[in-house]
Amino acid sequence: MKKILPIIAISLLALSACKKGSVSGTVIDPISGEAVELPTVWIRGTPFTSQKIPGGLPDGKFKFEKIEPGSYTLEAGKGKYSRGSAEFTITKEDLDVTQNIYIYRQDVSSGLYRPIEGTEAEKILNTWAMWQPTCKGSVFALRASFADEVTNPKTKRKEKRNNPLPAPKDVPADIFALYKLASSVTSPVEAISYPVLSKPAKDYDCSVEARETLLVPDLDKGSKIESGYKSENLYEIKGTLPKGRQFLALSQDNKFVGLYYLNAQ
């Protein structure tokens, strides 16, 4: 009996050491909010791939079983879609892991999107770009208004036209958005929200007349907003904006990639 007990203990330890896990999830288009039909999913550096699953993944759902404990990278793609990746870890304590992965159509244009449950994400158009002057140093601003000359179609004469800055976009203070980069640079995107101040242009070295009024960021009260990878060239931005008029400044490698004029409610 004494000999049998150690054998049983060794067998139980061997059985525990041989336990394998699984990873399951859904491939989702974060712009449409829907599952992607028939994507290809694989685990980098392993034989696990959905191409071995009969019928593929018609509903975007996948599951790989009998995976040794360890850390892995899931990847997913489809023709005319971006490629997405996600890290996951299987341990003896957590053998069955759930991990979704995100890819989106390659024809999605660059810019800021606000996901809306049950429908396509709303693109927040940067309607303020024409009002952004060139400023020296790290200053950025928007002109409160500017005048230009247009030809009156009736009189054929040139007339002055005033162009007031469009109103800020109303957004929830608890912001959740997606930002699609125009380039394929892989370095992270930084998002900072600044309260907006009205200041005379003469106080700033910008390419506008001194008598103009500029909207500038209150640099002393910037709030960093969480930003993280979502899919290839797509970043998720979420956090709480201070209420009121805000500049949401997005940068990559210390260069601005987007500036949005928002009213956090």
pLDDT, tens digit (0-9, with 9 covering 90-100), for 4-42: 555 554 444 444 556 999 999 999 999 999 999 999 999
Q: Name the residue type at position 53.
A: I
Q: pLDDT band at 84, cuts 50/70/90?
A: very high
Q: Using CA atoms in the order 192, 193, 198, 204, what is the torsion angle rounded to 10 degrees? A: 0
Q: What is the pLDDT of residue 62?
A: 98
Quote the pTM value: 0.85
Under 8 Å between Cβ of 212 and 143: yes
Tens digits of per-residue pLDDT, 133-148? 999 887 899 999 998 8
Under 8 Å between Cβ of 81 and 103: yes
Q: What is the pLDDT of residue 166?
A: 97
> Pairing relation of β-strands 70-77 and 189-200?
unpaired
Under 8 Å between Cβ of 188 and 227: yes
Q: What is the pLDDT of residue 15?
A: 46
**3-state class of 32 per DSSP?**
coil
Q: What is the pLDDT of residue 10?
A: 47
- What are 189's two structure tokens? 């995107």
> What beta strand segments (E) does 184-222 contain?
189-200, 213-217
Under 8 Å between Cβ of 180 and 110: yes
User: 32: which residues sit within 8 A by CB, 6+ positions away?
Assistant: 104, 120, 121
How far is Cα 39 from Cα 27, in angstroms, rounded to an integer? Answer: 7
Tens digits of per-residue pLDDT, 174-230? 999 999 999 887 889 999 999 999 999 999 999 999 999 999 999 999 999 999 999
Under 8 Å between Cβ of 260 and 168: no
On the question of pLDDT at 55 being above 80, the answer is: yes
How far is Cα 50 from Cα 56, in angstroms, rounded to an integer? Answer: 6
